[in-house]
Amino acid sequence: MSHFARINAQGIVTQVIVAEQDFIDTLPDADSWVQTSYNTRGGKHYNPETGELSADQTKALRKNYAGIGFKYDADRDAFIPPKPYNSWLLDEDTCLWNAPVAMPEDAGTGEPPKMYRWDEETINWVEVTIDG
């Protein structure tokens, strides 16, 4: 079985299903379905059993696993997630969005671990504090 994403006329994913290619081929709108790989993220294929990078990167398919609301870019042959913030930039290699400012290096360190959230107004990361 494979995963397929239904693409509307604007290139937006409206549905993702598990099916055989033979079934997709019988659909009246078969040309609006594009195969996607559940194990592909950022242009890399990951072993479904271990979560580690696969030795065989030829299995990487269309940069990212499709999700509803993703855009299928036929020129890149890639699924691109919705842009989370206006200021974020598309990484052409991974087809993922990156903040214009790197997350602070101390994220996830300390006890309790430091956490940050993106603040679009200041175009920067803001530390999240949890009281109590």
pTM of the full structure: 0.89
Residue 1 pLDDT grade (very low, low, confident, very high; cuts 50, 70, 90): confident
On the question of pLDDT at 132 being above 70, the answer is no
pLDDT at 13 over 80: yes
Residue 22 lies in a domain: yes
Query: 116 lies in a domain?
Result: no
Is the Cβ–Cβ distance between 96 and 43 less than 8 Å? Answer: no
Question: What is the β-pairing status of strands 40-41 and 33-36?
Answer: unpaired
pLDDT attached to residue 120: 98
Total domains, the chain: 1
Does residue 11 sit within a domain?
yes
Residue 92, in any domain of the structure: no
pLDDT tens, residue by residue, 18-70: 999 999 999 999 999 999 999 999 999 999 999 999 999 999 999 999 999 99
The pLDDT assigned to 79 comes to 98
Asked whether residue 87 is domain-assigned, the answer is no
Helix (H) or strand (E) holding 117: strand 115-119
Tokens representing 51 are 């979560």
Is a pLDDT exceeding 60 seen at residue 130?
yes
Model pLDDT, residue 76 = 97
At residue 12, the pLDDT reads: 98
- Does residue 95 fall inside a structural domain? no
Percent helix, strand, coil in the chain, to 5, is: 10, 35, 55
Question: Coil, strand, or helix at residue 113?
Answer: coil
C-alpha closest to that of 15 among 70, 61, 58, 64: 70
Phi/psi of residue 41, each to 5°? Answer: -140, 130
**pLDDT tens-digit map of 79-97:** 999 999 999 999 999 999 9
Nearest to 102 by CA among 74, 80, 75, 123: 123
Provide the percentage of residues in the chain whose pLDDT is more than 90: 95
Residue 88 lies in a domain: no
27 found inside a domain: yes
Domain span holding position 10: 2-82
